[in-house]
Each structure stands twice: as structure tokens, then as C-alpha cells.
């Protein structure tokens, strides 16, 4: 049985790529997550900060080390692992995370993704420009914006929207992606 968790937080260290004696690479990332809540006066209060150490291996380790920086907001998913060791004080243990995914939290900023292709001779290289991209089926055609209405706000109700998109119809128009 495994326990998968998702953590929203901030990168607390400089991710550094490390090579093992067996020529594998890993990157350890510390992610801090602070629960915030509103108190009885409706004011924001910071709860306790929890720290998570996540380890990424091989290709993911390289991508993480190249992509995230200390202080950036991220979303981490992974499997909880119990790490045990002996110290001068006796047996010790700590919960860690075997990283599955790590990405920037796009509710706090924007990012630009670069797809990489692994080659045996040179390692990672950026994919050719436009590789793996398709036409955006949800993009609106360019129109004269005279008389245009503002975009709905996140709290607008469905009845206030003048148009709707049939998502299944739009997705059905997509061709399968090729690698």
C-alpha cells in the first residue's frame, strides 16, 4: 500500500543535482507549506509550517534541478516514504516524499514549458520549436473588439454567460499527439 500526497508550498532550498557512485542522479527539494485560515475576526492567520523533503531520480532529477529555484511556489506530488537511520542519539526516522511530479503553482504566476528529448549521446536537448504542439481548439478567432463584453469573473454564475463551449466536441476534434 502506498500513500500519495499533494503539497502546495514554496521551494526552501537550491535544488542541486547529485550523482551516485552507480552513476544515477538525484535531486532533493525541500518544500515548505503553511496552512492559512481566517480567525473569528475574519483576519488571515498563519498556521504551522510543515517541511517536506522530496527526492527525484534520473530524468526527473535533472528536470527539477534545471526548472525550480529557491523561493518559487510549487505543487509537489509523490509517495510518502519512511526514512530510518541510526545516530549517536539512537534510531531516528523521518517522513520523506519520493517525488513523482513537481511543477510551478500557476495560481501564483506563469511559466513557459520547454519539452526536452533525451538523447544517448548528449543527455537532454530542447525539443524542436513547436514539437508536440497542436492548434488550440479553444482559442477564439481574432475579432474586432468594438462592443465586446468583459470576460466573466471566476464568481460569475453560469446563467450570466452568453456562450458555452462543448468540451467533448472540441476534444473530439483533436488528433492524437505523436511523440
Alpha carbons 45 and 48: distance in angstroms, whole number: 10
Predicted structure pTM score: 0.63
Q: What is the pLDDT at residue 41? A: 96
Q: Are strands 90-104 and 123-126 parallel, antiparallel or unpaired?
A: unpaired
Res. 68: pLDDT tops 80: yes
Cβ atoms of 56 and 99 within 8 Å: the answer is yes
* Strands (E) located in the chain: 4-11, 17-19, 25-38, 44-57, 73-87, 90-104, 116-119, 123-126
Q: What is the pLDDT at residue 155? A: 45
- The phi, psi pair for 169, rounded to 5°, reads -65, -45
pLDDT digits 0-9 by tens, 103-125 = 999 999 998 888 887 766 555 55
Which of 13-17, 74-78, 149-153 comes out lowest in average pLDDT? 149-153
Closest CA to 64 of 97, 29, 107: 29
CATH of 4-126, one of 2.40.50.140, 3.40.50.300, 2.40.37.10, 2.20.140.10: 2.40.50.140
Closest CA to 94 of 102, 105, 85, 103: 85
Amino acid at each position: 500500500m502506498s500513500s500519495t500526497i499533494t503539497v502546495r508550498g514554496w521551494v526552501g532550498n537550491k535544488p542541486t543535482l547529485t550523482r551516485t557512485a552507480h552513476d544515477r542522479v538525484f535531486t532533493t527539494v525541500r518544500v515548505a507549506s503553511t496552512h492559512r485560515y481566517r480567525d473569528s475576526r475574519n483576519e488571515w492567520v498563519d498556521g504551522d509550517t510543515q517541511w517536506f523533503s522530496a527526492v527525484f531520480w534520473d530524468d526527473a532529477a535533472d528536470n527539477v534541478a534545471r526548472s525550480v529555484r529557491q523561493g518559487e511556489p510549487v505543487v509537489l506530488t509523490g509517495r510518502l516514504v519512511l526514512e530510518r537511520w541510526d545516530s549517536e542519539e539512537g534510531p531516528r526516522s523521518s517522513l520523506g516524499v519520493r517525488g513523482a511530479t513537481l511543477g510551478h503553482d500557476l495560481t501564483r504566476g506563469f511559466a513557459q514549458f520547454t519539452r526536452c528529448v533525451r538523447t544517448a549521446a548528449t543527455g537532454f536537448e530542447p525539443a524542436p520549436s513547436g514539437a508536440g504542439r497542436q492548434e488550440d481548439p479553444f482559442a477564439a478567432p481574432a475579432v474586432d473588439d468594438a462592443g465586446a463584453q468583459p470576460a466573466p469573473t471566476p464568481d460569475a454564475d453560469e446563467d450570466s454567460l452568453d456562450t458555452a463551449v462543448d468540451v467533448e466536441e472540441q476534444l473530439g476534434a483533436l488528433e492524437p499527439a505523436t511523440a
